Structure 1
């Protein structure tokens, strides 16, 4: 710790402020520049013809006014060197030579970096990129001088000086125009050079750091004096959860202040997380990712005054002030409190819970959303009264959704401390059952604070317990489901994986002559494959009926299986069918738990059959001398790989927990459901026949597709290929296993002895009959079932 003296003889106890800081804003600007650079290169590669035409137009225009072009070239070349040098002299005279040194470091790195990058582009096999940047002429891919100038300009932060910024960028624009008209640089090269220079400048700034411009504690004391306070002591205390500095200030009359300092360079802290939330969540629940220092000050002050007017117990805001241009402060009255996080669970009685909810009710009556009702913002004073702090995250004139989110957040936090039953009971006593029922759809992890989500990961069934107790309070309440997320991370992964899969499939199709496929296929075998594909849907219906003791109509169940083929277009193969079948059973009056158990039982038995058939067909194929496909050695390797994967999953605790939770969720009631099925021999037979028929139907379909193009493979060899590829496709995150199934089937058939073209043609026909062709009838079935409320 160190002491600094403010005017008036007040010593401020605080840690020494660092001389230099690595500002998150510089790192963010660096990554943003790289993203823009990538987008520019892609766009330029697409619009090559337009750029070539523009270059020719500029060339013709320059030839029409040669004298003006030469004058502009001289001025641009001179100004791009004179302006940075003049700025450096001006900074040195103002004793800011360190900034100039940073700019020179960036200029040197920019010169060396652009030279090395240009050499790599010329020597690499990226022909399109080289032609784009050089126009296929003997010029530099990146202008070395311009790169170093841009890097220097960025590193010295010339953008903060309007006059110098205008002069600098005018010089750069004139330099680019003259070089472009003289065909010494291409337009893409100029843009890329500017962006590379900016990226190097920002990287240099972040690497070497920037001078610390945060006002020290003495400046905070001086600002308080301007607000007519009389500080006699000042001490830096722990920063708040957003990283803002806090000071404990003693006044001459014996009272104290709690001062929060908002630093400008902290405004972008946590920006990637806020941007991600802003993109992912709907507009009403998200917060602005970037807010100016002034706006942040006004927001917190307005929320503090509104909370005081509402009668809530909060520290009174006594004054606000800017501290120069780089910070601002808010001065609150000091109240001796301790956060609820430091209160033992045993001391949180029903009276305290009621107090907390009464304070929240006061805010809700005035349409104020706190938005951070956690243990570090709920405090207790010496008398045991509740005090709400941290108003910065709040919203005035809040909508219903934000108010309900506050209730959901506080319910969850208190449930983690005292249990769901006490949390719901205390809330209902103050807020009423209707308010809790309205908040119930918002009991979602995504709606809670990061700290609460982290705590939920260590607790079990907290949200489920809250919902159950709310339903018990108001069983007749019906509240519409609330979807907070625009998309889920799983959806993003599926989109990316589907894009890659589509690329794989298209690359396969490029090797296949589609006309030849259509004209050379034996349509008798193709018709047989189509019949086998249809039989697979009937078999799936029989399998589902077999695992449900209740009666299900056969043809409506078949329609459900067709509908699942439509859903596979937007969901992974292992997910779409499970969701559709579960929904169908619930609509038939089967409870959700039993519906999940029935589908889980069918999936479990299907897995057992799959593994057993794979081993059986692999053994038959490996022991048969009539075929060239002998996968017995490969089978051993595959089994060893699977065993190794299982050992890794079971040996790593986080992976083991994930698998255990997923399996418990899916198969928690499977054994009792299987016992119900075993009591009916007819259901047992129907389930076994359906499960076996699914695999046989798909294998027969693939075998007929191979035969349609003259392929000669044994049925058992085709079965091994299908079963292996289907397992891979079920694990793939793409819709219907797209890409993974095609590639695995093709490789398997090639390994079995088929030519690549023949294997690809057979797989193309197989996927057409089993994946793409059922989509249209699947859509019709899905629409029909929804219209008749069967889904």
Structure 2
């Protein structure tokens, strides 16, 4: 009877309080999952900390550039403030200072009253750190900082560079997350604004000092939050079950399984009717995970291929749900989405039907049959008919069930109403992944049987590493020839298809290196030009020597044409080949010195009907022989210089250090395996098939003589040009000495990533001529004239040659 009464009491309680009964039912279901940590280091706090540091750097750089504007602005504001009544100014200063202390204290009392004292303690830690950091930075600014920085932060007045009180309050407000409370946030920032304005008009803080103080306080607050961690607000497994009950499911068991590739939690939930749900939980604090990589891809790729870097929790939930319903409507074999729900304000869930499958990554290669491949392509065809792009066709997104049927999963990254480019990207990605598993021939053959040759031909220009997923790119690093093999198979399948070039990248990483190096080179050139009067250089130069230098510069282009002709067994017209060399001088404006000429010459040979491999081999052979001649001439002239002019050209300690640094760099490049592999791979690409081409040249004495004469003439022409430029300003140092300087500087310039070796060549030549005995003024003038004749002056005829050759389809 007692058991019956207890059961009746429980039923009465369920009727009276359904929420309590639901919570009791959830407690009765044990969720097998690791204990959630009490505190988490949120990636968002770290990103805000880094963004604040970046903002501090940006403000300082901008302030240093616009010093005069800031000084004028401060002067105008302070002059206007002097017109205010003194009493009003004093009252504003007092109220601002008092409120700056009262508001944080009131917020702390309110938090303690709501039993949130731990947050207040974190804020106090940040406030103490803010006070210490502001004091130390202030002392450093006054005693040891650069003069410009000190003037920006103090205005040359006896004040604190960084306001210690304001830094502490900002750090405290950031650490207690006052920004999440709209009323308190508005009140706090209003008080901060009043305080900064009062102190600024009272000459107690500068404009830049106030901005930097606020940013440093925020950085310390975010740094504290990330360092000590934040309370874990992720809902536990019981909260997930509560949300499922609201969707009319009846869970009887639950266990956490491996997270998905984006770090979202996943649960396998058993229901009362014997079925199972696969539940994905989207946590708000995980929404910014991997944000730097997504931002980089969004910045680097064209708009049609990139994804949104930041998406709210609600938007992410709706996106995945919409894609799941769309794939179901398309008839594709995917797990059915049975329900979605938010779990409070910090998470959301998606409940899918459970299918007993295994990912394709876990299937051995020999078990992937042609029938399996055909099924995969049939599923993709269904998506493409409905303009759905999956965007993650990897071994984790393709599953096989017990009967060998294909199931597509992981549609979160997909797109509805996708454009042609995204659909073709899916084909390229799947082709590459399957080729890595079963070979290029089977991948292309089975795809063509389902999708048709035209679909593969359309995907051909998208077989680029940058277009593929991160996992596929990593796999391609071990099989570098796979993309080439795929292209060959598709071309063999559809040989007459017209392939358009598609550029997915806005820029390449090496472009950034070139831009940065070019900026540094431009800074160096401007500093060099500031020492030289350009008008005086032009008017005082000896025109006889300058004319000789101009002729030598022109001869170098003819010599380059002879060199190229000598390494090509097929006949080449001389003057058109000379025009190609002028065109290469135009391309050097946007490409490193060692790259532009190679690309133009290779393209020219291909347009002459020479096979691409043979064209590349001819250019590679010319570069290899040029390198050999360069080293041999450097050793020869160095020996002659050391034997005959030891007294006038004694290497300085600085030159010895430079040579030692070059030697150390070579040792590092050859001694570190990844760097050595990079160098050898680049060299292999450039000089592959070179030996057979050299043997072809050696069989023709005329070609051999032409190639050697052209190679030697190029170097001698440039040496004569530089020597004549030195003579144009009254310098005299010997032909062999000039040769050593030129050959050394040219090697450095060829290795520089700047267009035409800009900056590196000028610096090396100026240093070499100065060490050899010229005065810095004469050396700089001679180098300026030399670069004018060999780099800048040929740009205009080079552009005309480039346009002419393109118009006549020679390039």
Same-fold call, TM cutoff 0.5 = yes
The alignment status of 1:24 with 2:48, answered yes or no, reads no
Contact 1:627 1:714 in 2 (8 A): no
Q: CA deviation at 1:713?
A: 1.0
Correspondent of 1:520 among 540, 545, 551: 540
The alignment status of 1:697 with 2:713, answered yes or no, reads no
Which residue number in structure 2 is paired with residue 719 of structure 1? Answer: 739
Q: What CA RMSD, in Å, does the superposition of the two structures yield over aligned residues?
A: 1.7
Paired with 2:743 and 2:25, the residues of 1 have a C-alpha distance of 78
Distance 1:636 1:548, change over 3 A: farther
Which residue number in structure 1 is paired with residue 13 of structure 2? Answer: none
Paired with 2:730 and 2:170, the residues of 1 have a C-alpha distance of 65
Correspondent of 1:42 among 41, 61, 71: 61
List alignment gaps of at least 5 residues for structure 2.
1-22
Q: Which moved more, 1:59-68 or 1:403-412?
A: 59-68
Distance 1:489 1:193, change over 3 A: same
Q: CA deviation at 1:643?
A: 6.3
Contact 2:652 2:771 in 1 (8 A): no
Paired with 2:483 and 2:182, the residues of 1 have a C-alpha distance of 54
CA offsets 1:458-478 (integer angstroms, 9 cap, x no match): 113100000000000000110
Q: CA deviation at 1:44?
A: 2.4
Q: Which moved more, 1:295-304 or 1:581-590?
A: 581-590
CA offsets 1:4-34 (integer angstroms, 9 cap, x no match): 9863511111001111111111111111111
Q: CA deviation at 1:61?
A: 3.7
Paired with 1:443 and 1:534, the residues of 2 have a C-alpha distance of 42
Contact 2:27 2:238 in 1 (8 A): no
Distance 1:633 1:510, change over 3 A: closer
Correspondent of 1:284 among 290, 301, 304: 304
Which residue number in structure 2 is paired with residue 775 of structure 1? Answer: 795
Paired with 1:645 and 1:452, the residues of 2 have a C-alpha distance of 33
Correspondent of 1:667 among 687, 706, 713: 687
Q: CA deviation at 1:655?
A: 2.2
Normalised by the size of structure 1, how large is the TM-score?
A: 0.97
Distance 1:40 1:607, change over 3 A: same
Task: Name the count of aligned residue pairs.
Answer: 788
Distance 1:106 1:211, change over 3 A: same
Paired with 1:359 and 1:614, the residues of 2 have a C-alpha distance of 64
Q: Which moved more, 1:100-109 or 1:65-74?
A: 65-74
SS of equivalent residue, structure 2 residue 174: helix
Contact 2:152 2:208 in 1 (8 A): yes
Q: CA deviation at 1:358?
A: 0.5
Correspondent of 2:32 among 3, 8, 13: 13
Distance 1:8 1:213, change over 3 A: closer
Q: CA deviation at 1:644?
A: 5.7
The alignment status of 1:341 with 2:355, answered yes or no, reads no
Which residue number in structure 1 is paired with residue 465 of structure 2? Answer: 445
Q: CA deviation at 1:59?
A: 3.2
Paired with 1:775 and 1:734, the residues of 2 have a C-alpha distance of 16
1:386-465 pair list within 5 angstroms:
386-465=406-485
SS of equivalent residue, structure 2 residue 620: helix
Paired with 1:33 and 1:100, the residues of 2 have a C-alpha distance of 22
Q: CA deviation at 1:284?
A: 0.6
Distance 1:53 1:624, change over 3 A: closer
Which residue number in structure 1 is paired with residue 605 of structure 2? Answer: 585
Contact 1:618 1:632 in 2 (8 A): no
Distance 1:634 1:198, change over 3 A: closer
Paired with 2:573 and 2:406, the residues of 1 have a C-alpha distance of 60
Distance 1:267 1:609, change over 3 A: same
Which residue number in structure 1 is paired with residue 73 of structure 2? Answer: 54
Contact 1:621 1:630 in 2 (8 A): no
Q: CA deviation at 1:680?
A: 1.4
Contact 1:106 1:201 in 2 (8 A): yes
1:674-753 pair list within 5 angstroms:
674-753=694-773
SS of equivalent residue, structure 1 residue 331: strand
1:41-120 pair list within 5 angstroms:
41-62=60-81, 63-120=83-140
Paired with 2:239 and 2:229, the residues of 1 have a C-alpha distance of 23
Distance 1:83 1:625, change over 3 A: closer
Which residue number in structure 1 is paired with residue 17 of structure 2? Answer: none
Correspondent of 1:608 among 608, 619, 628: 628
- Show structure 1 runs of 4+ deviating over 6 A: 632-643
